[in-house]
Structure 1
Amino acid sequence: MNPANYLSVLRLPGIRQAMLLMLLARIPTTASGMTLTLHVVLALDKGYGAAGLVGTASTIGIAMGAPLMGRLTDHKGLRTVVLLSTVTEGLFWFTAPALPYSVLLVTSFLTGLTILPVMSIGRQVLTALVPVDQRRTALAMDSMAVEVSYMAGPALAVLLTTSANSRTALWTVGAAMVAAGLALYAANPPVKNQEESTTTERPPRREWLTAPLIGVLITSSGAIFVLAGMEVSLVAALQEQGQIQWTGPLVIVMCVASLVGGFIYGGLTHAPTPRTLMAALGLLSIPVGLATGNLWMLALLLIPANFLAAPVIASTGEVITKLTPPSARGEAMGLQGSAFTLGAAAGAPLAGFMIDHTSAGWGFAITGATGATIAAIGKLLDRRAAKTPVNA
């Protein structure tokens, strides 16, 4: 690997400002789920099952809305999407403390449809600002930034709720989302480069939504499936040990491992394919379940699997930019966002089901094995394709 690749990317015009802006915009988004959960449990006194339903409603909305918002970006530009999202999110978060549970459940779904797709927008902006031969490094940096936002957002949500109250936390998240929207609207970073902006013709979806692209989307979903299952299994393993207070430190271990893996991946000249990384992520997750009785061994075995988290996310984004025309890139990135959301929505419940009926170790095993199987299915889709534009 070559660390100089990062310096080269950071010297490009607009990159540092765009990355800082997207990082700050992502933190309130990553804090939103935890904030709503704590509000339902603590302020509305409805329990974790009811909180989970709100999260599910929001997840369904986000999964349905991400491609639509991406398509709107392709047709109308970034500012239209940002304006729509900022208005709807502002209305939701500032009124949420006063809403009864039934209304909160419905509005969380509706807001999910138009939530600001900061993850997809970040990848689009970097793709527009960075030459093709430097996108791997840029997207690896983006994946690392996502890890940082996931380390900060939920922790801030807990801090605000416990030190003040859930109403203050909801308003703070809303204010941060509105501020992020206004900043993005003012900055208006490009989602297409100058050459791509001159191309207005949009090919039919059947021409770019090909088997190789579907395979990459499956890989994207599978990666988050494994990671979501791993998080649930980790909490269960620590609870079995009576060491639940170590959840935060071990989550940090997972995030740091992912950051290191992303850094190394971004400096590679020749990188493994997303399918290979996905298979390795799944297979390396299985043995983690063998260490559920030993805290230090558990922490050690979490490192290899999470080392691949940021690389597999970055690699799927890189391939998607190659497989899709610029005029449809927003929708394609939105489809990837939906794949991420659906993967998380499936991985956590499956791991939870296995844990409830067996033990935490089987949670790691089933999600890891399923992830490796998903990678194999994606590879079969590639082989069935008559022609593959890039090696996914």
Structure 2
Amino acid sequence: MFSTYRKLFAEPGIRSLTVIGLLAKMPGLGIASVLILHIVGNLHRGFAAGSVAAACWTAGAGLGAPLQGRGLDHYGLRRVFGLLVTAQAVFWSLGHLLPYPALLVAAFFGGLTTLPAFTVIRLALAGMVTEDNRHTAYAVDAMTTDIAYMVGPTVGILLASTASPTVAFLVMGGLQLLVGGAYLVLDPPLQRALPAAGAPKPGLRHWLSARMMCALGVTVATSIAVVGFEVAAIGTLQRHGQLAWSWLLLVLAGVASVAGGFLYGGMKRPPSVFAVTAALGLLCMPIGLATQWYWLCLLSVPANLFVAPALSASAGAVSGLAPDDSKGVAMGTYASAILVGNVIGSPIAGTGLDHGGPGTAFAVFGATAAAVAGLAFLCDTRLRARDKTMAPAAQELENSGATQ
């Protein structure tokens, strides 16, 4: 297993790409917390108002990810990042001076032009890593996401509480610009070659195949399970008056996910994305039986062992199905699929908590994730069987044409 990782990091450029990718994810994951605390602390509005601003940023990021990916496909990293870094510099230097209504509009455009850190590293891994090491590379990417998730929001909250929300706002923006500059210097290869000037742009049907829809569907399922777990777990602790233990729960969940990603990345023959995601959903269901914080922590470990593997496998599935000239837009759509899962999973878990308690919440979002993964598996299986049936007929037609 360790030799698998040594082989991966021996490939040129992977170490620097991993470090920059980790640093790039931290501010991206901490932006929502910093926006909320700025609105509460500086603009003296409630957490609901702060959540609306965070939602505006998220909506912009979800819409912008495929557009940015398409730009990366056709214009390359430096031209796209030059525009995005400029737009981010404007937002982070002026955003903390805006009144609340203007900040909502600015947050949407800030999300629309946010740096596609997750998309870029996945595109670079697809182009820089050999086929044998690809699933290990995506496992490392998922593990660094877990680390960034534990560190990014924590740094933002600490800065806001110990210094001021304005300091947190400016530091988060400075990190965004610093990482953007690092990507411009590194300029990792995102595809073999940019299309020639004037070449027709591939249409939607070129890359959004039926099997790609299955891969994006299982990505949504993974995100439903991940965000549903977070909402249901925090809600369960609050119901039992044990919210003070939420930090330990989230740290254990993150550590379990990293451990699962490490094991998955070292496998020679990893299980399919459908199996991993279905297992994640099913293992979330019994967590709702916990009535004390220590049982909640213990029951959460098996499910979270599958989080990083599910994210890794889904990213690999989307990247593997995308043509070389459309990997950017495909991986951007993958990022949007994760946000779609967040939008679906959070209200499912919240509604379950309100109407049936923790047991219902975990059962509903876990079953939903497993069912979507199962449905995607059945569709993908039928499509692969159809392709195998059609391939000999197409070959026979080609041979007969050549004979004539």
- Please give the range of the TM-score, normalised by the shorter of the 2 chains: over 0.9
Give the match for residue 353 of structure 1. Answer: 351
Distance 1:151 1:267 in 2: 23
Distance 1:388 1:358 in 2: 46
Quote how far apart the aligned CAs of 1:316 are: 1.1
Quote how far apart the aligned CAs of 1:362 are: 2.1
Give the match for residue 333 of structure 1. Answer: 331
Whether the 8 Å CA contact 1:237–1:361 is kept in 2: the answer is no
Give the match for residue 307 of structure 2. Answer: 309
Give SS of 1:338's match. Answer: helix
Distance 2:172 2:178 in 1: 10
Aligned AA (2:363): A
Distance 1:241 1:388 in 2: 54
Change beyond 3 A, Cα 1:114–1:305: same
Quote how far apart the aligned CAs of 1:188 are: 0.9
Distance 1:167 1:144 in 2: 30
Unpaired stretches in structure 1, ≥5 consecutive residues: none
Distance 1:256 1:163 in 2: 26
Unpaired stretches in structure 2, ≥5 consecutive residues: 390-404
Distance 1:280 1:186 in 2: 41
Whether the 8 Å CA contact 2:67–2:332 is kept in 1: the answer is yes
Whether the 8 Å CA contact 2:225–2:369 is kept in 1: the answer is yes
Whether the 8 Å CA contact 1:120–1:334 is kept in 2: the answer is yes
Quote how far apart the aligned CAs of 1:222 are: 1.2
Map 1:81-100 to 2 at 5 A: 81-100=80-99
Give the match for residue 58 of structure 1. Answer: 57
Give the match for residue 204 of structure 2. Answer: 205
Whether the 8 Å CA contact 2:40–2:46 is kept in 1: the answer is yes
Whether the 8 Å CA contact 1:69–1:117 is kept in 2: the answer is yes
**Normalized against structure 1, the TM-score is what?**
0.94
Distance 1:90 1:381 in 2: 44
Residues 41-75 of structure 1 deviation map (CA, whole Å, 9 limit, x = unaligned): 22222212212211221121111110000000000
Whether the 8 Å CA contact 2:349–2:362 is kept in 1: the answer is yes
Distance 1:172 1:116 in 2: 16
Map 1:255-294 to 2 at 5 A: 255-291=254-290, 293-294=291-292
Aligned residues: 384
Change beyond 3 A, Cα 1:342–1:199: same
Give SS of 1:197's match. Answer: coil
Whether the 8 Å CA contact 1:59–1:345 is kept in 2: the answer is no
Quote how far apart the aligned CAs of 1:215 are: 0.7
Whether the 8 Å CA contact 2:74–2:194 is kept in 1: the answer is no
Give the match for residue 155 of structure 2. Answer: 156
Residues 86-138 of structure 1 deviation map (CA, whole Å, 9 limit, x = unaligned): 11112112212111111111111111111111011111111111111110111
Aligned AA (1:350): I
Give the match for residue 379 of structure 1. Answer: 377
The runs of 4+ residues in structure 1 deviating greater than 6 Å are: none
Whether the 8 Å CA contact 1:9–1:134 is kept in 2: the answer is yes
Quote how far apart the aligned CAs of 1:230 are: 0.6
Whether the 8 Å CA contact 1:94–1:170 is kept in 2: the answer is no
Distance 1:143 1:96 in 2: 31
Distance 2:220 2:388 in 1: 20
Quote how far apart the aligned CAs of 1:354 are: 2.0
Whether the 8 Å CA contact 2:221–2:373 is kept in 1: the answer is yes
Residues 184-220 of structure 1 deviation map (CA, whole Å, 9 limit, x = unaligned): 111111112xxx3277676443132111111111111
Whether the 8 Å CA contact 2:73–2:194 is kept in 1: the answer is no
Structure 1 residue 29 and structure 2 residue 57: aligned? no
The 10-residue stretch of structure 1 (379-388 or 196-205) with the greater mean CA deviation from structure 2: 196-205
Give SS of 2:387's match. Answer: coil
Aligned AA (1:331): V
Distance 1:92 1:345 in 2: 25
Distance 2:357 2:156 in 1: 30
Percent of matched pairs sharing the same residue: 36
Quote how far apart the aligned CAs of 1:321 are: 2.1
Give the match for residue 322 of structure 1. Answer: 320
Whether the 8 Å CA contact 2:76–2:194 is kept in 1: the answer is no
Distance 1:54 1:90 in 2: 18
**Normalized against structure 2, the TM-score is what?**
0.92
Larger Cα Rg: Structure 1 or Structure 2? Answer: 2
Whether the 8 Å CA contact 2:288–2:361 is kept in 1: the answer is yes
Give the match for residue 230 of structure 2. Answer: 231
Give the match for residue 240 of structure 2. Answer: 241
